[in-house]
Structure 1
């Protein structure tokens, strides 16, 4: 008898440990069921849990049940059978002999279940969370002490179930939050009021070529400005002091991009800032498109103005030219007159400028045909050969063999090449270097670059002239802008830029590391 009591005591201790230590529902219930069966010296049992809609009881764990019994008790509606009644009444039900109990269905009796006990698992507020069922093969008398003990265990298990479910819900919510946090395409970080990163998502780590774990603990000034010293205009510090959202755009020169950073304060119940949420987005492409749209609007407006000016100037210019021709025909002595020759030369220059203005203002769509860029470059060099050699400029061509064709307007692309080569020649004529070298290279780029996302050919035209002043580079494609001190219309690059855009390409100009500048043209490959 003493050993029996000791076994019961150890089993009850096992129940208590399971209730206090375990949080996974199924493991918790398996351990408790096994311990209670040992306490009661019974052979088999099971546990049903109220499902999510609180309308039925689902079998969760079982021990030593036959397959037939397991199928029979898989699910109960509330109020159905002894198990369903236990859930509704929230009372422990004891059946000492199933043969004479009308609440039991006939199949239960046929399965040689002699006695059973059903215990409600009652949580806080008297809410039933499930039912613990204990079975025995032969009839068995249950004492009041056993009933009281089982009822107490049921209440403890009910509370433990609530706690386990709450922990599982919290774990699921945390997992869902973490997955959402890392799935965001924007870089997101959570900072302490000091500026240190407490948590960062995968997108932010990818932006800075590191891991989210390595970002934890560093300050915002280290991340965005590569500096250990906090900046006086720090956006996160301003968010903390002003307790207001902030927005700033940072030029990340190290990676050659523009980052938009938006910060929001995290407030506690006392309205104090306890942290800052920082959202970082790479807006380099967005800013580039924005600048291009502004430039296109500016060019469109200038185009309308220049068209009007060209027409207004063209009429008196034609009259002047016609009168000069009339005078020189009427008086042969005037044909060699220096003043008349000067008027004719300047009139020709103005006519050329008017034609450029008209070309710039017209929106003539390109006529697309397959164009061999290498052939076009050689033809353009042939047209400019006299001027290039006259300026003692050496030409080095590195044209890729078997270069694919592009879909384009050959005359318009040739105009681009003509303008770029002429600009390079003029830059070298006014330069101070001894040897003047013009390099033209073509190649194919099948993989997308950071600035151009489709397979294309690349044309680079490089010179070793004086280069372009750094403050002038952002404006080189603006109409009438020229960095040439000796003058120029300032329309060549603007026209070239517009033509390349019409061909869905990209034109960029930058200074070389040593001397001179390089113009790069990217044009998409032919679709056929």
Structure 2
């Protein structure tokens, strides 16, 4: 700021001199233009000695000469000189804030110039015993200065000066507005005697007296004061004024009325609390992005959904939540551009990635954010987790498929069963009549194929009918022990290891023993097929329970299930086995049996490593 002042003084001295002369002319209207011009040259010299060379004593010697040359009485001339310097201060304020007219900038410059001029003004005042008359303020300023001073007054800023006895010697228009008292009513009076509201502030009175007596300045904030029965809140800056010997001779006091600001801050704080509560109570994840699509706000729902805290994601790109694939990045890039071009994106589905690796399916709604100039400044993002909703939808689709198969099953059995019976009968007759062994072998193959088709049709019909099996309390460990005895005779598991880990104290469940037995056999035989060709195949069957469910798992270390196939394995007629080795109905049947008893089947598989089926049935409470 000092460098800026120096440049203005050197580069714009003619402008400063001209503006200053116009204003001083109103202080001494009786002077001729020639006298005024000569006076201005001397004043500019004194001012530049003080401001540029920073030589107060040299400037005072020049001022003494000016007083002798132009005024009959030094005290009268000193008053005009002090007013002239104050005028010059406002001229420089205008010059220094022409390109920055904010109240904050003006206040900083005003404080800087005030501190700069105070030693000179105090020195003139003390040396020539100026009478306590109101120091005159300029009636007109440049448009820039008027704008800045209006901004200061609008902001409730006032400034006054006290001498060593706390007598008011300067009272600005800003203070006039705050106290509703004109300068000519208060200048020359003691601050505390004439303004009791200042005396009642113990902390404030102590700070002012400390500045006057000890030269210690102080800044006080949030000082509450009642003026004319109206409540105010002030920030107050007290600065001591010193003479050439460094002794305190007075103080300047800058007061800023922050009543409205504090009220607005309180109201803003309430709005912020409301806004924060709304955001954090929202069920959907809400994110704000800046103009570079980086995260600047992240609510609690987003934290719970993705597992990241706001501190961890602040300033990060939204791609943090995407799968590391080109498709995902391209999809997000297209969405970014659509938001800018169109202004919004509604209910677009996207798969995202949580911190723990979970896949999260969300519906995204993004809306553009623009400022008053219609510049793009960011976007709001609302993410609704529809992972569970999608799972339920898939279950409904699965149920509809199963329902359709059940409806068609009886018709299929009739349409297929009748021709099969005829074909089977004819094949048996031909086998009895032909002598050629080759024909007999081929007819035998036909008969085997017919039997396989018949079994498939019977299975389909059996599980499309309402369950008629006996439902009773069963001990799941007994079912598994029975399954293991049967599996020992299957050639596919003859050389594989079967491990059983059964929790002995599991509760009873309500189900059909034979149907649950069939479920375990179906899954175990599938495991046997998956381990075919493995020399170290292992089948592990476990049971356990919790407060609501009895659970069992069947784990193999076979070939596993491809990720693309897992969502289809419970569909009817879906199989990954070679032709002739599977009907695609085993898991579909098992799924129907377990769900008919209010249970559930889940599968986890790693292709090439093995598969685990987990069955759960509700505990039967008698």
Equivalent residue number for residue 533 of structure 2: 432
Equivalent residue number for residue 203 of structure 2: none
Q: Deviations over 1:410-459 (max 9, x none)?
A: 2322221121012112223xx3322332221222245xxxxxxxx42332
Equivalent residue number for residue 201 of structure 1: 299
Q: Which runs of 5+ in 1 are unaligned?
A: 21-34, 42-61, 64-116, 124-155, 447-454
CA distance, structure 2, for counterparts of residue 515 and residue 436 of structure 1: 11
Equivalent residue number for residue 383 of structure 1: 486
1:174 match: secondary structure: helix
Q: Deviations over 1:45-103 (max 9, x none)?
A: xxxxxxxxxxxxxxxxx99xxxxxxxxxxxxxxxxxxxxxxxxxxxxxxxxxxxxxxxx
Greater helix percent: which structure? 2
Equivalent residue number for residue 259 of structure 1: 361
Change in CA separation of 1:229 and 1:248 when aligned onto 2, cut-off 3 Å = closer
Q: How does 1:387-398 map to 2 (within 5 A)?
A: 387-388=490-491, 391-398=494-501
Asked whether the equivalents of residues 193 and 240 of structure 1 are also in contact (C-alpha less than 8 Å), the reply is no
Q: How does 1:314-393 map to 2 (within 5 A)?
A: 314-319=417-422, 341-342=444-445, 344-364=447-467, 368-388=471-491, 391-393=494-496
Q: Which runs of 5+ in 2 are unaligned?
A: 1-131, 133-161, 180-193, 201-223, 233-254
Deviates more, 1:302-311 or 1:336-345: 336-345
Asked whether the equivalents of residues 542 and 553 of structure 2 are also in contact (C-alpha less than 8 Å), the reply is yes
Equivalent residue number for residue 177 of structure 1: 275
Equivalent residue number for residue 336 of structure 2: 236
Higher relative contact order, structure no. (Cα contacts within 8 Å, ≥ 6 residues apart)? 1
CA distance, structure 1, for counterparts of residue 302 and residue 270 of structure 2: 24
* 1:498 lines up with 2:601 in the alignment: no
What is the TM-score with the length of structure 2 in the denominator?
A: 0.54
CA distance, structure 1, for counterparts of residue 383 and residue 328 of structure 2: 18
Q: Deviations over 1:366-390 (max 9, x none)?
A: 7653321111111122233311577
Shift of 1:202: 1.9
CA distance, structure 2, for counterparts of residue 226 and residue 181 of structure 1: 29
2:488 match: secondary structure: helix
* 1:515 lines up with 2:620 in the alignment: no
Shift of 1:328: 10
Q: Deviations over 1:3-22 (max 9, x none)?
A: 9x977979x99x97xx89xx
CA distance, structure 2, for counterparts of residue 192 and residue 409 of structure 1: 60
Change in CA separation of 1:226 and 1:178 when aligned onto 2, cut-off 3 Å = farther
Shift of 1:493: 0.8
Change in CA separation of 1:332 and 1:214 when aligned onto 2, cut-off 3 Å = closer
| Total equivalences in the alignment | 392
CA distance, structure 2, for counterparts of residue 413 and residue 36 of structure 1: 95
Change in CA separation of 1:259 and 1:36 when aligned onto 2, cut-off 3 Å = farther
Highest CA radius of gyration, 1 or 2?
Answer: 2
Q: Deviations over 1:300-323 (max 9, x none)?
A: 223322331112222333455567
CA distance, structure 1, for counterparts of residue 329 and residue 293 of structure 2: 11
2:331 match: secondary structure: coil
Asked whether the equivalents of residues 469 and 483 of structure 1 are also in contact (C-alpha less than 8 Å), the reply is no
Change in CA separation of 1:209 and 1:366 when aligned onto 2, cut-off 3 Å = farther
CA distance, structure 2, for counterparts of residue 358 and residue 226 of structure 1: 47
Q: What is the aligned-residue RMSD (CA, Å)?
A: 4.4
